[in-house]
Chains A and B, each alone.
Chain A
Amino acid sequence: MVAQTASTSRWRWLAALAVVVSSWAVTIPVAAQLADGAIVKRDTNLRSAPAENAPALAPVKANTPVTRLPERQGAYVRVQVDNMTGWLHMFEVGSGAGAPAANAAASGGGGGNVLRGLGSFFGRPSSTTVATTTVGIRGLDANDLANAQPSLSAVTTAEGLRVTANDAEQFAAGAALRPQPVDELPAP
Chain B
Amino acid sequence: MRHIAVFTRGALALGLALVVGGVATWHTPASGQISVGDLLRNLGSATGGSNTINLPIGGGSTRPGQAGPMELLGMLRQSVETIDEPREIEIGRQLASILLGSKPLHPDLRLQAYVNRLGRWISLQSSRPNLPWTFMVLDDPGFNAFAAPGGYVFVTKGLIDGAQNEAELAGVLAHEIVHVIEKHHLRALAKNARAGLAGQVVASQLRNDLAGNVGAQFLSLGRDLYARGLDRGDEYEADRKGVALAARAGLDPFGLPAVLGVLATVRPDNPQYTLNMATHPPATSRLELLEKAMGDRLNALSGRPVVTINDRLTR
Chain A residues in the interface with B (C-beta under 8 A) = 36, 38, 51-52, 68, 70-75, 77, 90-91, 93, 95, 99-112, 114-118, 120-123, 130, 134, 137-142, 144-155, 157-159, 161-165, 167-169, 171-172, 175-188
Neighbouring B residues of A99 by C-beta, 8 Å: 264-265
Count of chain A to chain B residue pairs whose CB atoms are closer than 8 Å in the complex: 300
Neighbouring A residues of B125 by C-beta, 8 Å: 179
Min Cβ gap B42→A in Å is: 22
Chain B residues in the interface with A (C-beta under 8 A) = 3-4, 6-7, 10, 93-94, 96-109, 111-113, 116-118, 120-121, 123-125, 129-130, 132-136, 138-144, 152, 156-158, 160-165, 167-168, 219, 223, 226-227, 236-237, 240-241, 243-244, 247-254, 257-259, 261-267, 269-276, 278, 284, 289, 291-294, 297-299, 301-304, 306-313
Neighbouring A residues of B263 by C-beta, 8 Å: 105
Min Cβ gap B274→A in Å is: 6
Contact of A120 among B108, B162, B259, B301 (CB under 8 A): B162
Q: Which residue of B lies closest to A118 (CB)?
A: B310
Neighbouring B residues of A149 by C-beta, 8 Å: 4, 101
B164 engages A72 (CB within 8 Å): yes
Min Cβ gap A94→B in Å is: 8
A interface SS class: loop
B293 engages A188 (CB within 8 Å): yes
Known contacts A90-B258, A140-B102; A75 and B302 CB within 8 A of each other:
yes
B223 engages A134 (CB within 8 Å): no
Neighbouring B residues of A179 by C-beta, 8 Å: 125, 248-250
B271 engages A134 (CB within 8 Å): yes
Neighbouring A residues of B276 by C-beta, 8 Å: 139
Neighbouring A residues of B293 by C-beta, 8 Å: 185-188
Neighbouring B residues of A73 by C-beta, 8 Å: 164-165, 306
Q: Which residue of A lies closest to B141 (CB)?
A: A110
* CA A134 to CA B269, docked complex, whole Å: 9
Neighbouring B residues of A77 by C-beta, 8 Å: 258, 261
Q: Which residue of A lies closest to B120 (CB)?
A: A168
Q: Which residue of A lies closest to B116 (CB)?
A: A163
* CA A95 to CA B163, docked complex, whole Å: 20
Neighbouring A residues of B157 by C-beta, 8 Å: 112
Neighbouring B residues of A186 by C-beta, 8 Å: 293
Known contacts A109-B158, A137-B141, A150-B97; A157 and B105 CB within 8 A of each other:
yes
* CA A181 to CA B313, docked complex, whole Å: 28
Known contacts A142-B275, A172-B121; A112 and B139 CB within 8 A of each other:
yes
Known contacts A101-B265, A152-B93; A146 and B227 CB within 8 A of each other:
yes
Neighbouring B residues of A153 by C-beta, 8 Å: 3
Min Cβ gap B95→A in Å is: 9
B227 engages A162 (CB within 8 Å): no
Neighbouring A residues of B291 by C-beta, 8 Å: 91
Q: Which 7 residue pairs spanning A and B have beta carbons closest together?
A: A139-B142, A108-B161, A105-B162, A117-B161, A148-B101, A154-B100, A168-B120
Min Cβ gap B307→A in Å is: 7
Task: Pick the most buried of A74, A177, A181, A187: most chain B CB atoms within 10 A of its CB.
Answer: A74
Contact of B121 among A130, A140, A171 (CB under 8 A): A171
B273 engages A122 (CB within 8 Å): no
Neighbouring B residues of A178 by C-beta, 8 Å: 250
Neighbouring A residues of B299 by C-beta, 8 Å: 52, 75
Q: Which residue of B lies closest to A164 (CB)?
A: B120
A139 engages B162 (CB within 8 Å): no
* CA A179 to CA B111, docked complex, whole Å: 23
Contact of B96 among A107, A116, A155, A169 (CB under 8 A): A155
Task: Pick the most buried of A51, A109, A159: most chain B CB atoms within 10 A of its CB.
Answer: A109
* CA A157 to CA B3, docked complex, whole Å: 14
* CA A153 to CA B4, docked complex, whole Å: 10
* CA A182 to CA B301, docked complex, whole Å: 10
Q: Can you give 17 contacting A-B residue pairs, CB < 8 Å? A: A38-B265, A72-B262, A95-B261, A103-B266, A103-B270, A105-B262, A106-B270, A109-B142, A111-B141, A150-B94, A152-B93, A153-B3, A167-B116, A168-B121, A171-B121, A182-B301, A184-B244
Q: Which residue of B lies closest to A117 (CB)?
A: B161
